[in-house]
Amino acid sequence: MKASGSAGNAGRIVTLRDVAKLAGVSVATASKALNGQPQVRAETRTRVLAAAEQLSFFPNALAQGLIGQRTGTVGLLTSDLEGRFSIPILMGAEDAFGSGQTSVFLCDARGDAIRERHHLRALLSRRVDGLIVVGARPDTRPSLGRDLPVPVVYAYAPSDDPADLSLVTDNVGAGRMATGHLLDCGRRRIAHITGDPAYGAAQDRAKGTLDRLAEEGLELAGGQVWFGMWSEAWGRGATRMLLRRSPDVDAIFAGSDEIARGVLDVLHQEGIDVPSQVAVMGFDNWAILAANARPPLTTIDMNLELLGRLAAQRLFAAIDGTLGSGVESIACRLVTRDSTAPVG
Amino acid sequence: MKASGSAGNAGRIVTLRDVAKLAGVSVATASKALNGQPQVRAETRTRVLAAAEQLSFFPNALAQGLIGQRTGTVGLLTSDLEGRFSIPILMGAEDAFGSGQTSVFLCDARGDAIRERHHLRALLSRRVDGLIVVGARPDTRPSLGRDLPVPVVYAYAPSDDPADLSLVTDNVGAGRMATGHLLDCGRRRIAHITGDPAYGAAQDRAKGTLDRLAEEGLELAGGQVWFGMWSEAWGRGATRMLLRRSPDVDAIFAGSDEIARGVLDVLHQEGIDVPSQVAVMGFDNWAILAANARPPLTTIDMNLELLGRLAAQRLFAAIDGTLGSGVESIACRLVTRDSTAPVG
């Protein structure tokens, strides 16, 4: 596997070896990670992909050979009403091969099967090379079936057909990551306030949290996971209940940045300092909510742009019939701001 | 002009007369408003369009005749990174002729001219019937030119070529509307904290505010418009400065919901009750920020779905060469929640 030259790298050709070195893995592992082979751990794959991106490394076959035989156009079929998760995935897919090489056409099906079929026909009749299907929520969704003329990658929400290829967020790992950060800050009485328990993501993040606490011999402050809604109002209500039951809580991990904003609001009302008395974490790294909070929120970023890039690379690689199947997990990353800090 | 039947109306055919009656205008005015003729005031046009929508009134020529000769596909070229303004415009355009009759393909150019040209070629080569161009901010943007094979409507940001058709928000009217609501609540010491003064929308909203106050012989509390940034942090900073200069302020009109959230935050910190002591208004009706605020925010909605519907109707009407030119203003609407109330 050779690399395409990168203009930004002073003329030197970036090789797979450079990527492996930067990622701190063997060349064989880097190759497996870039080719989407399943025996690579999510964190490792994410690290290799980030290194490849940082070095502007694109395998020749993808960057030049394959894309030349295609129209360079991908359809993105979403049911994510607010565009909140779809837009970064769209951007990542467009950036998979450098600026101006791919166009992504986004169509919003709004969770309506009839509308989805309509958009699907419109996209297919316009010769898109492949489809990325983004669910409204990170739970299994129906497959579009196996009789489509172009490859399909399911992103964010996995397909219910294991023969399809789905790229999803490692939510269990994300729960572990958030909890690990709070433990690193010296917190021991950690509570978890999260959204709708019908969401697989809420369950998975809670599982990661509980697993990581158990490794330290700890239990959740407040004695339970506080499941509710994905809203600020729930963040406020749950925090009031939590403070009554466990006034000595020293950290709250919220299942979304919205919930975290509600948590912060009640802590301010109660005169509890963040982060010196209680550390607070969100989830999503939704800048408008997280970066502008008082104090700015430490949160978890789902690496959705990376997920979009990977989805586009898998689609274009499928021209020679190598579209994989199964579910690939993408690791999240920690974004630290002022709402968490070591215990003074 | 006859109407297509509406299944939702118990079999009765809705006529233009019904629309005119509901909107409280003459049939001639309703017809002019629906055909986009310029001599109709923005508020009147918006009222007529809302009535037509409420009654499911679609002129036959648009709903059945024209659309049959077209592929029913519109390209939406946006530079609105967060999708915040584009997504409602996309939804409105898709709904212009009923579910499943139109597909909108959204492409994100990210304010980059090269990327925009690339997407433009990709869309045109796929036989879209027309293009809606959505700017990242409500200021004049370069025209795509007159040599395109399909009609173009500029939405949100007007084209710099007066021969193009642009649909924009009536920001001066919106400033008047917000200020009028605060006056209706009995407020007399009204301040205006808004965003970047380089944005035409910020200037226009401020102008509407000042005009309306002048009609009552009033001036702005704080003695100036507080221009700054479109951020919560600026809302906080400006409110602190305002309270020092004009501690008797009784209403604050914020130029965005984000700014309004910062305003609320400082009022809470200072122990000032909202709305009994100070009424607060936002702008945008961005549900995630406005509906979840404490208290929920009264705000201004830009009617972007209506703008999208209208843009799609204009595009499809252009098949017989009647695409207009110039700038059409769409009136905003007031959304009242708990952050404003009459003086006790």
B205 touches A: beta carbon within 8 Å: no
Cα separation, B32 vs B57, in Å, equals 15
Question: Min CA distance, A138 vs chain B (Å)?
Answer: 19
Rounded to 10 deg, the angle between the A27-34 and A42-54 helix axes is 90
> What are residue B292's phi and psi, to 5 degrees?
-95, 0
Rama region for B283: left / alpha / beta (φ>0; ψ in -120 to 50; rest): beta
pLDDT band at A29 (very low <50, low <70, confident <90, very high): confident
Q: What is the pLDDT of residue A284?
A: 96
Q: Which residues of B touch A72 (CB under 8 A)?
A: 122
In sequence order, the 6+-apart residues with CB closer than 8 A to the CB of A120 are: A75, A77, A131, A144
pLDDT in tens, chain B (344 residues): 333 333 333 445 677 888 889 999 988 888 777 765 667 787 887 888 788 777 766 554 334 334 445 668 899 999 887 778 999 999 999 888 776 678 899 999 988 888 898 899 889 888 788 999 998 888 899 999 888 888 999 999 999 999 999 999 999 999 999 999 999 999 999 999 999 999 999 999 999 999 999 999 999 999 999 999 999 999 999 999 999 999 999 999 999 999 999 999 999 999 999 999 999 999 999 999 999 999 999 999 999 999 999 999 899 888 666 788 999 999 999 999 999 998 76
Reported in sequence order, the residue ranges of chain B that DSSP labels E, i.e. its strands, are 73-78, 103-108, 130-134, 152-155, 165-169, 190-193, 251-254, 279-281, 299-301, 326-330, 333-335
pLDDT at A283 exceeding the cut of 80 = yes
Q: What is the pTM of this model?
A: 0.81
Residues A289-302 pLDDT 10s: 999 999 999 999 99
Cα separation, A33 vs A28, in Å, equals 9
Question: Min CA distance, A107 vs chain B (Å)?
Answer: 6
A289 touches B: beta carbon within 8 Å: yes
Say if the Cβ atoms of A83 and B81 lie within 8 Å: no
Say if the Cβ atoms of B106 and A103 lie within 8 Å: no
Q: What is the pLDDT of residue B18?
A: 86
State the Cα angle at A85 between A81 and A88, rounded to 5°. Answer: 125
Q: What is the pLDDT of residue A65?
A: 38
- Max intra-chain CA distance, chain B: 64
A108 touches B: beta carbon within 8 Å: yes
Cα B326 to its chain centre, rounded Å, is: 17
A6 touches B: beta carbon within 8 Å: no
Q: Cβ of A113: how many Cβ atoms within 10 Å?
A: 10
Q: Which residues of A touch B84 (CB under 8 A)?
A: 83
pLDDT at A66 exceeding the cut of 70 = no
For residue A74, list its beta bridge partners: A104, A130
Cα separation, B235 vs B259, in Å, equals 4
Q: Which residue bears the tokens 């970066």? A: A291
Q: What is the pLDDT of residue B17?
A: 85
Residues A237-268 pLDDT 10s: 999 999 999 999 999 999 999 999 999 999 99
For chain A, give the secondary structure using H, E and C.
CCECCCHHHCCCCCCHHHHHHHHCCCHHHHHHHHCCCCCCCHHHHHHHHHHHHHCCCCEHHHHHHHHHHCCCEEEEEECCCCCCCHHHHHHHHHHCCCCCCCEEEEEECCCCHHHHHHHHHHHHCCCCCEEEEECCCCCCECCCCCCCCCCEEEECCCECCCCCEEEEECHHHHHHHHHHHHHHCCCCCEEEECCCCCCHHHHHHHHHHHHHHHHCCCCCCCCCCECCCCCHHHHHHHHHHHHHHCCCCCEEEECCHHHHHHHHHHHHHCCCCCCCCCEEECCCCCHHHHCCCCCCCEEEECCHHHHHHHHHHHHHHHHHCCCCCEEEEECCEEECCCCCCCCC
**Which among B90, B94, B265 is the nearest to A294, CB-wise?**
B265
In sequence order, the 6+-apart residues with CB closer than 8 A to the CB of B294 are: A232, A236, A265, B264, B268
A122 touches B: beta carbon within 8 Å: yes
Q: Which residues of B touch A293 (CB under 8 A)?
A: 232
Q: Are A11 and A5 in contact (CB under 8 A)?
A: yes
Q: What is the pLDDT of residue B127?
A: 79
Q: What is the pLDDT of residue A57?
A: 66
Question: Min CA distance, B126 vs chain A (Å)?
Answer: 5
Q: Cβ of A17: how many Cβ atoms within 10 Å?
A: 11
A126 touches B: beta carbon within 8 Å: yes
Q: What is the pLDDT of residue B105?
A: 94
Q: Which residue bears the tokens 């492409």? A: B107
Q: Cβ of A217: how many Cβ atoms within 10 Å?
A: 6
Predicted complex ipTM: 0.79
Residues B310-338 pLDDT 10s: 999 899 888 666 788 999 999 999 999 99
Q: Which residues of A touch B81 (CB under 8 A)?
A: 87
Which of B229, B182, B225 lies closest to B204, judged by CA? B225
Question: Pick the residue with more confidence: A248 or A34?
Answer: A248
Question: Min CA distance, A284 vs chain B (Å)?
Answer: 14
Cα separation, B24 vs B44, in Å, equals 9
Q: Are A196 and A229 in contact (CB under 8 A)?
A: yes
**Domains of chain A by range and CATH?**
1-35 (no CATH), 72-169+304-333 (3.40.50.2300), 171-301 (3.40.50.2300)
Question: Min CA distance, B306 vs chain A (Å)?
Answer: 17
pLDDT band at A5 (very low <50, low <70, confident <90, very high): very low
- pLDDT mean across residues, chain A: 87
A237 touches B: beta carbon within 8 Å: no
Q: Are B283 and B257 in contact (CB under 8 A)?
A: yes
Q: Which residues of B touch A114 (CB under 8 A)?
A: 99-100
Cα separation, B75 vs B133, in Å, equals 8
- DSSP conformational letter for B8: G
Q: What is the pLDDT of residue A344?
A: 64
**Which among B103, B110, B126 is the nearest to A107, CB-wise?**
B103
**Chain B residue with the nearest C-alpha to that of A99:** B115
In sequence order, the 6+-apart residues with CB closer than 8 A to the CB of B213 are: B179, B190, B219, B220
- Max intra-chain CA distance, chain A: 64
Q: Which residue bears the tokens 């205008």? A: B25
Question: Pick the residue with more confidence: B26 or A4?
Answer: B26
**Chain B residue with the nearest C-alpha to that of A82:** B87
**Which among A72, A83, A115 is the nearest to B87, CB-wise?**
A83
C-alpha distances (whole Å) from B178 to each of A111, A274, A303, B208, B252 are 35, 35, 39, 9, 10
Percentage of chain A beyond pLDDT 70 is 88
**Which among A103, A114, A265 is the nearest to B119, CB-wise?**
A103
Q: What is the pLDDT of residue B99?
A: 66
Amino acid at A176: R
pLDDT at A313 exceeding the cut of 50 = yes
Residues B164-182 pLDDT 10s: 999 999 999 999 999 999 9
